[in-house]
Amino acid sequence: MDFDALPPFTLIRSRPSAVGAQRLRARKMCKRTVRLRVGIRLVLALLIHGFVDQTPPVSSVYHGIVGESPQMAEIFTRIDKVAVGDVNVCIYGESGTGKELIARAIHYASPRRDRPLITLDCTTIPEGLMESHLFGHVKGAFTGATEHREGVFALAHTGSLFIDELGELSPRLQAKLLRVIQTREFSKVGGTKPIRTDIRLITATNKDLKAAVAQGLFREDLYYRIAVFMIKVPALRERPDDIPRLVDHFLRRFAGLYGKRITKVAPATLERMLELPWPGNVRQLENFLEQAVVLAEGDTLTDRDLFAGDFSSVAGPTLSGLFEAGLPLGEVERRHILRTLHKVRGNRTEAARLLQISVRCLQYKLKAYGRDIDGAAGSGLGLVPSQQYLRS
């Protein structure tokens, strides 16, 4: 072809036409490839969906809290609702029910999750040092104050502060705490400069604070400040459906910790465990299983591993008789503490360790029990009960 003889416009149109055809063919090939890939994925998805359940398994662990019972599901719902804001939360429940775990769940589900979470246990600190632990002190504020120290309100700034067993605070410190909650300011012990604090306050107690308010033991205005949102934690005996899950959870943990190949609890033994009142709640169950894993020799825990020694000698063939049905909870706790003290021959430090409470808390309880025992005419019983008293 003689291109020089063609009109100029013909030459100009012929070249883009070839390029356009090539682009069109490439575009069609691309569309076919995309349709083919989508079709293959769709077929595979339909095949898999037809034979395999794609629904992810429901986890029984929520922020480290184990439970699937309706009571715990309600608590998880309340945690999700309250975590998004900064409202003060008060967690109420018996010792050993996992109140600190709930406080941690609230913090780590909140916008402050990347900020510090500071915990203060009011039962472990002497009364004279509590104010310093709360607000800090300056050097020379009191005897032994050799350096400046920050309190938990300063350490928890921009994060969350969890005060455990708040009911143990003295009326004087209750008033100081109320002022900090109201003004968001505090001063160190021995200092005069006000310090601003931005914290999310979470508290916990095993006492009925409403009853304490009625008895004049707890400030009513402070109660309404801390209990804007209440979460009541059920005792373990109120959610027995969770015991198998808890047993499985603790077994995996302790088996790995102690290098044991224990995988389960014998069905008959688990049934006996379900009958226990567990006055120490989840903490008692945890300690119970840890001891059993340490002593066990096989891959399945049986009555011999779990109900040896102290439990079997006291409870006999069935542990449902460890405490009579209908006993007040205070009496169940009293008997359990005194039995533990008897087991360690009166060693209060060891008893507190086994009970997972502070020595101060144990001494407080024993003082109350001592008054009851000493006041019983002709009882002749001290703080360490005799075998006859243990069976009462």
Q: Apex CA 343: angle with CA 339 and CA 344, to 5°?
A: 125
Q: What is the mean pLDDT of residues 165-189?
A: 94
CA 201 to chain centre: 16
The three-class DSSP label of residue 325 is coil
123 token code pair: 């039962």
253 token code pair: 């943990």
Instruction: Return all residues near 361 (Cβ < 8 A) that are at least 6 apart.
Output: 123, 165, 352
Pairing of strands 89-92, 229-232: parallel
Residue 277: exposed, middle, or buried by beta-carbon count in 10 A (0-12, 13-18, 19+)? buried
Cα dihedral: 253, 257, 258, 263 (round 10)? 30
Is pLDDT at 244 greater than 80 in this prediction?
A: yes
Is pLDDT at 97 greater than 70 in this prediction?
A: yes
pLDDT at residue number 23: 61
Closest of 123, 131, 203, 229 to residue 171, by C-alpha: 131
Cβ contact 91:192 at 8 Å: no
More confident residue, 261 or 380: 261
Confidence of residue 80 (pLDDT cuts 50, 70, 90): very high
pLDDT at residue number 315: 39
**Secondary structure (DSSP) of 4-70:** GGS-HHHHHHHHHHHHHHHHHHHHHHHHHHHHHHHHHHHHHHHHHHHHS--SPPPPSEETTEE--SH
For residues 116 and 113, give the distance between their C-alpha atoms in angstroms, rounded to a whole number.
Answer: 8
Confidence of residue 130 (pLDDT cuts 50, 70, 90): very high
More confident residue, 38 or 392: 38
- pLDDT more than 90, % of the chain: 47
Is pLDDT at 316 greater than 90 in this prediction?
A: no
Q: pLDDT tens digits for 48-77? A: 343 333 333 334 568 889 999 999 999 999
The three-class DSSP label of residue 301 is strand
